[in-house]
Amino acid sequence: MTVPRNLSLGLFFAALAVVGLATPGFQLLAVNQHLFLAVNVLALNFCLGLGGQISLAQAAFAGLGAFGSVLLHDRFPEATLVIVPAVVLGTGLLAAMLSRPMERLGEGFLAMATLCVSLVFTNLVLTLESVTGGSAGHMANARLALPLLGSLSGDRATFFCFAGLLALGSYIFLALRDSRLGRALAACRGDAQAASSLGVDRAAVRSLSFGLGGGLSAAAGVIHGHYTGFISPEQYHLELSLKALLFLVIGGPGNLLRPILAALVLETAMSWLSVLGDARTLVNGLLLGAALLAGYWRASR
């Protein structure tokens, strides 16, 4: 029996709220790291699931959000309402500008371009040591603050910030997927040449979904950077992008909940496997391999 979409979404976010309210604060530290990854999986779903574009730059987009917000808050600690939208929109615009010319070059160019973006971001942070702290990192002294709500700090407040961002991203994802623009994206993903022959501006519609994915990763990076209190290039390394891609493939690009659940459940399971010591890597590999096979079996039915 198929569960109605709205019901499954409601149950998921209700369960997430229970986790946030019932879990002790100190245990939310690990949960928040998993939520950060889940938001990046959703962000990549905008690119690959809707637009059919592979991105290896989600970590770099999250890093731009984190470094941009933290460094600007150092100078203007009371300007959260201006800094956060500027950083998120700026990163989303950068992502869209990256996608549009690559679309004209053909499949594969965007994946390589986003890989370059990820490497350039890391090297840029390391080179601008006087500003970013380089490999030693940079302390995030200022907190996000909103009128009426005050300072957004602490494990539980951060949990609900990530959960709220996940809910907002899910709403936008579904609204876009079910819209006329979403059908144009599906046409581009299915047969790009046929979509062009029907008058779809492939570069424009794909750059929009790619920009939304970049902006969502940047928003996750903003929350993550201020939450951890310390930012460094290792936190936003290429490994984060590869993890997001892995969980999206396991859950199925284009599906909303399965990739998010894959990220949350498998990351939690792998963190618990730390008790296995040196055998953890082998068991993690087997677990992910089994998940990939399950995803392949589901897709081939």
Chain CA centroid to CA 256, Å: 13
Residue 27: CB atoms within 10 Å: 11
pLDDT at residue 195, as a whole number: 77
Does position 72 have pLDDT exceeding 90, yes or no?
A: yes
The per-residue pLDDT for 86 is 97
Contact 110, 55 (CB under 8 A): yes
Angle between helices 58-75 and 238-251 in degrees, nearest 10: 130
Q: What is the pLDDT of residue 76?
A: 92
Place of tokens 């890989």: 115
Own/partner contacts of 129-132, CB < 8 Å, gap of 24 or more, are: 131/71, 132/67, 132/71, 132/231, 132/233
Contact 221, 66 (CB under 8 A): yes
- Reported confidence tier of residue 41, pLDDT bands at 50, 70, 90: very high
> Does residue 57 sit within a domain?
yes
Q: Is residue 70 part of a domain?
A: yes
Q: Is the pLDDT of residue 2 over 60?
A: no
What is the bridge-based pairing of β-strands 138-139 and 230-231?
antiparallel
pLDDT band at 212 (very low <50, low <70, confident <90, very high): very high
In this structure, is residue 272 part of a structural domain? no
Residue written as tokens 């993690």?
284
pLDDT in the model for residue 294: 74
How far, in Å, are 7, 9, 11, 128, 172 from residue 4 at the CA level? 5, 9, 11, 50, 18
Max CA separation in the chain (angstroms): 59
Predicted structure pTM score = 0.90
Q: What is the pLDDT of residues 177-204, one digit of tens each?
A: 999 998 888 888 877 777 777 777 888 8
List C-alpha distances in Å: 152 to 13, 140, 149, 156: 21, 13, 8, 10
Domain-located, residue 265? no
pLDDT tens for 235-292 read 998 889 988 988 998 888 889 999 999 999 988 888 887 766 667 677 767 777 777 7
Locate the DSSP E strands across the chain. 138-139, 144-146, 150-152, 230-231
Across 119-137, average pLDDT: 91
Query: Which pLDDT score is estimated for 3?
Result: 59
Is 280 a domain residue? Answer: no
CA atoms within 13 A on the CB side of 56: 17
Count the domains in the chain: 1
Q: Rounded to 5 degrees, what are φ and ψ at 145?
A: -140, 135
Range of the domain at 87: 24-237
Dihedral sign computed on CA atoms, order 201, 204, 206, 212: negative
The answer to the question of residue 200 being in a domain is yes
pLDDT at residue 13 tops 60: yes
pLDDT tens for 146-155 read: 877 778 888 9
Cβ count within 10 A of residue 277: 8
Let me know if residue 221 belongs to a domain: yes
Residue 211 within a domain: yes
User: What are 145's strand-pairing partners?
Assistant: 151
CA distances from 54 to 12, 45, 103, 195, 245 (A): 27, 9, 12, 19, 8
CB crowding 60-72: b at 16 or more within 10 Å, else e: bbbbbbbbbbbbb
